[in-house]
Structure 1
């Protein structure tokens, strides 16, 4: 198990490292929370007793949520004055909250990365559309690659030549880095990729 975690960490994928960290935080905070359970229970019991004594002095408390929170906080402060285990109570509360948060973070990170890896593992077929097609009016269009009469031209050198009007054209490299698509000659200029 440890070797798998180390290998996962060494892959240097940020989201994998993040859920390893959040899982480690969850485990540490959960263990800390379990260790503090006994002192937490003692302090919580004293807080409940103190709270009950405050609560009994007020009327219609079931409808007064804000007052309930105020009295509970007052009970916590009172118990913190005389109980030396109160810092462990606070530590248990914090560690429980962090454990809950890190569990949620770990869960969603793992779930998200599994979904991401699933979609990444699907083989991507060649695009069914040519991206460098222009219609006869110069507007950008798309043309299906599997349509008949279209072929790919690799980048190549074109030797210099002289046009019929006497203009000399020097040699040049055509097609850039990836080449380009052309329509097969069929005598119909209306289905050409470029005018």
Structure 2
């Protein structure tokens, strides 16, 4: 019973990602508005991507340092299991990807929302709400998908007789928490 309930998690993550894709696609079909609105939206997109690029440079430096610390703890001092640095890297990758997709969606949605709001408040709110939901759905979808993957991988890789059931669960939980730190 517990194992069959587990599959709700990756299925839910795929569903969240599918809705994010659908909402993004629907938003992109909307008109971006007047030529002046398009020009302003393009400038906002360019500025937002420049900001994100600079932010990711700083975050990448800190991220690499922390990944090295986890690697030394796992492979040098053996105080963490060997999966911890890899889980941290995948968590960081998905976090960065979520931020990038969220920023892209937000910058494409701004002019479309303003243009739709000129027609009716309901149209503008629909675009704004769905576009805002994309970021949340991507974060949840990628997070659940990756944590499901790690749980399945570690359940398969860690031999049942190598550790007591409680210790095995502790190793899995520690690794999955490190993914969250990434």
TM-score where L is the length of structure 2? 0.38
Structure with greater Cα Rg: 1
Report 1 or 2 for greater relative contact order, CA contacts < 8 Å, sequence distance ≥ 6: 2
The structure with the largest strand share of the pair is: 1
TM-score where L is the length of structure 1? 0.36
